[in-house]
Structure 1
């Protein structure tokens, strides 16, 4: 998914030139509108983005676009046809890009199972026991319709059969790592939790402890991450980012600035139940200043998530941000915090576009000029997710492997957490931004079973 003129030839992350100079609306002149609206776009009175569709099915019989133009007569709600469609006109196409067909694992959004937290894990990874948080509801359709994971629920799944395969792979002398990889890389997280429960029922042993005794290094870290329920893994990552001497601020930004309200609330509850700690207090103890305030705002999980865009408010917010930064001597940091912490991502995207017209400069560049350090990185992460979330994670993956050495924890965390959500789109953006595939870079930076497992998750 790309935006006109983005990424720039000079590369990413700054999203400069968006929208391009001379183009004050999306899409640029010469490209068909999305969707056509009598009297112009956006609709008079603000309207929604896109204009609220009628209720009949989309696409029309005969395929996409429907004869006579887009949207098809009668509207465009309903299930997409198999194979998907580009998320907006002009988007790149290809296998797996666009709207995946409905079915098991659609969108890769898996809710944790109550069995996820059963079994009492090893002392080295506390928190495998305890109460499971309440199940997450399915996310709004607008959040999943353009995303797709590389891992989906396996058809004809049999937890007992998989548990037996893993037992045989670890029994006796030596370990059949390939057998382990073939199971864990091709099952959804929910299915892995069922395998973990079946293993204990069948053999009276803890699967996680057995895996730890057979594996080591990055391969062990990756497989254990895959067996953690998603909510727990995020909470565990945040705890370890603040535990001990020093703080891994980039981990806090990566998780707290990119998750949905429901995900953040589940993380906060899990952090409390599994580690007996208040995440807000830990943040206050480990960070300070405007960065601390931004993260505390994120922890509330109260961002507006309506998909309707108020263009008048976007104009007002853009003017407010300009007056708080570029338009004055000094910076009113609290104004940036308020807007970026509360507005929905579609609303922020509209604000970015309005800001470019007011300031003759894109908002990300203004944040570069007005802020520094971790608060700058946090504010930019929020805006980057509003503009192009897969591009944000693609950049993080690239820098985890760029240069000497590899930031394996970041590589593992992003591959695991996005594998059932939008890793297909992250791969697409990675290739577009860096002119090489994610699999190629992983293959050159890793080795052995660790490389084989990563590539199995990413998909060739």
Structure 2
């Protein structure tokens, strides 16, 4: 059975069932990547510097967040402009690298008292030789993100939208603005319903009609918006490895930033839609430690326990130091093991512990110990653990900076983050580069392509 609207001419194979109806705005899966909530909030009684849970208005910029005197300290959030400006990606010590040494650029030192009760463990390197017991995690519940610039349209009528699109493409000329008004204001799930309604009502394939009416970057952008989200990631990975050459940055951007559930769905989709095993394609197109890192990512088995274990963070930091800065040569497998398997909150605690042990931040140590694509992959994992929106903000900035525009990267990030965290990405972009994302898009693009991008991003 083929997916409605696929394959259009040029061959985008079908992908039924993605995303599941009603799940398009749920991100991430249960229990992931959020600071745990406890009765009374943070900081716990007796000390600690974690902030209260962010208000519904969202972070950053919402009233009351970050907590006064808490996290992050002014100028210390990864991605905040550093003295002398932002280093280029991927060179230098990485984006938003905190200064070396204790304090970690405004991140709080783990408090000496226990969060979970019981006597504090005596661990060298922590203030007073003490580390807190593991922090309790939140109940296993879905985390509903509302930080996308695109929300499901209220009073949605797929047939009415299909009719609007049909009129916009019928006869001489095309009403591009009418197409933009529909496409930029419907969720991915709603676009799939429009595609199905169009074929039911007119016996025609909406994707083929759009391709015949559009061209260039605006065509690529609209086709991306009409692909089911998991299919689009799988399609992007396939095209990054298809033919001569490999687009390693695409592999890193997708495989090193997605959740376990997203990774598993991408791997299954890649197999069902392209009839290929993604691990086999990675082995054929990459090699060495970079290949091993990507294969690790494809397993979708990162620990997702939200509890932060500071004892393990200290042990991992010591292990990483001994595998890199503390020896002649580098034990690459140790870095792969820790960065590929630990939860993102756990990695954040490991980064903090490492800065005390090595008197240097972990991102700059990776710069010194690695090079090329494996360096970029490892740094992407850490950057997402520290500040995921800032990572994507930086990728967007460098897709437009300088002569020419990397339109595929610009389109891919805008589309894939539009229903997840593009609001936060926009806020981080302004903080990091002292200009808005919309301003940079407007100056770097033109025509219907610009209008559609700006409609998705919002002003």
CA contact 1:107–1:149 (8 Å) conserved in 2: no
Q: 1:173 to 1:385 in 2, by over 3 A?
A: same
Between 1:146-155 and 1:222-231, the stretch displaced more is 146-155
2:102 corresponding residue in structure 1: 104
Residues 35-434 of structure 1 mapped to structure 2, 5 A cutoff: 144=143, 148-434=147-433
Deviates more, 1:113-122 or 1:423-432: 113-122
CA contact under 8 A between 2:389 and 2:425: conserved in structure 1? yes
Deviations 1:43-85 (A, max 9, x none): 8999998999999999999999999999999999999999999
When the two structures are superposed, what TM-score results if normalisation uses the length of structure 2? 0.72
Distance 1:99 1:445, change over 3 A: closer
CA 7–269 in structure 1, closer or farther in 2 if over 3 Å, else same: closer
Q: Which 10-residue stretch deviates more, 60-69 or 401-410? A: 60-69
Q: Judging changes above 3 Å, is the alpha-carbon distance between structure 1 residues 138 and 303 closer, same or farther for their aligned structure 2 residues? A: same
> Could you tell me how far 1:9 is from its partner in structure 2?
49
Please give the secondary structure, in 1, of the residue aligned with 2:122: coil
1:20 equivalent in structure 2:
20
> 1:4, 1:18 within 8 Å by CA — same for their partners in 2?
no
Note the C-alpha offset of 1:412.
0.1
What is the CA-CA distance between 1:372 and the residue it aligns to?
0.3
Change (3 A) 1:152 1:424: same
Cα deviation, 1:348-404, whole Å, max 9, x if unaligned, reads: 000000000100000000000000000000000000000000000000000000000
The answer as to whether partners of 1:11 and 1:433 remain within 8 angstroms in 2 is no
Moved more, 186-195 or 77-86: 77-86
Deviations 1:66-122 (A, max 9, x none): 9999999999999999999999999xxx99999999999999999999999999999
Q: Displacement of 1:185 after TM fit?
A: 0.1
Greater alpha carbon shift after TM alignment, 232-241 vs 11-20? 11-20
- In structure 2, the CA distance between the partners of 1:407 and 1:343, relative to structure 1 (3 Å rule), is same
Larger relative contact order (Cα-Cα within 8 Å, sequence gap ≥ 6): 2
Tell me by how many angstroms 1:271 deviates: 0.2
Q: Deviations over 1:213-240 (max 9, x none)?
A: 0000000000000000000000000000
- Distance in 2 (alpha carbons) for counterparts of 1:8 and 1:361: 52
1:444 is displaced (CA, Å) by 0.3
Contact kept, 8 Å, 2:5 with 2:207, in 1: the verdict is: no
- Describe the shift of the 1:198–1:22 C-alpha distance in structure 2 as closer, same or farther (beyond 3 A): closer
Indicate the larger mover: 33-42 or 444-453. 33-42
* Aligned residue pairs, count: 457
Partners of 1:309 and 1:350 within 8 A in 2: yes
In 1, the alpha carbon distance for the partners of 2:171 and 2:10 equals: 55
SS in structure 2 opposite 1:294? helix
Distance 1:208 1:120 in 2: 61
CA deviations 1:235-290 (Å, max 9, x no partner) are 00000000000000000000000000000000000000000000000000000000
TM-score scaled by structure 1? 0.72
CA RMSD in angstroms, aligned pairs only? 18.4
The structure-2 alpha-carbon separation of the partners of 1:140 and 1:244, relative to structure 1 and needing over 3 Å to count, comes to farther
Other structure's SS at 2:449 match: helix
Q: 1:177 to 1:242 in 2, by over 3 A?
A: same
Asked if the contact 2:366–2:379 (Cα under 8 Å) also holds between the matched residues in 1, the reply is yes
Gaps of 5+ in 2: none
SS in 1 for 2:301: coil
Counterparts in 2 of 1:72 and 1:386: CA distance versus 1, 3 Å: closer
Large movers: runs of 4+ above 6 Å:
1-90, 94-143
How many Å separate the matches in 2 of 1:458 and 1:414? Answer: 11
Change (3 A) 1:124 1:289: farther
TM-superposition CA deviations, 1:300-359 (whole Å, max 9, x none): 000001110011000000000000000000000000000000000000000000000100
Question: What whole-Å deviation, never above 9, does each CA across 1:109-138 have from its counterpart, x for those lacking one?
Answer: 999999999999999999999999999999
Q: Please report how far the alpha carbon of residue 33 of structure 1 lies from its aligned counterpart in structure 2 after TM superposition.
A: 17
Decide which moves more: 71-80 or 241-250. 71-80
Compared with structure 1, are the counterparts of its residues 138 and 216 closer, same or farther at alpha carbon in structure 2 (3 Å cutoff)? farther
Inter-partner Cα distance in structure 2 for 1:238 and 1:171: 35
Gaps of at least 5 residues in structure 1 are none
Q: Which moved more, 1:111-120 or 1:300-309?
A: 111-120
